[in-house]
Amino acid sequence: MTNGKKLMEAELERTDAEHRILFRLSEDELLLLANSVNEAIQAIKDWEFPIRLGVDKSAARKLRDGLQNVIAGLPGAE
């Protein structure tokens, strides 16, 4: 807990085919995550991205787009 707020929670769901991690995030945590992914996309060169982050930049863009879709669906989002 920081500043009286509970930090994100994660739950590992295991199946035979895949492992999925389900997160419970506050709106602030979601925005922080989305902004961090976006900053990494903008700040790190294409050739360097997989070396530093372990995935291609296209995967990060896909994650960013998914996060933006969630944010767009929040109450009060414009």
pLDDT along the chain (78 residues), means of 10: 67 71 87 96 97 96 96 87
The residues spanned by each domain of the chain are 26-78
Cα distances from 36 to residues 19, 25, 33, 78, in angstroms, run 24, 15, 5, 21
CB atoms within 10 A of CB 68: 13
**CA 25 to centroid of chain Cα atoms:** 10
- Contact (Cβ atoms closer than 8 angstroms) between residue 57 and residue 41: yes
Tell me the whole-structure pTM to 2 decimals.
0.78
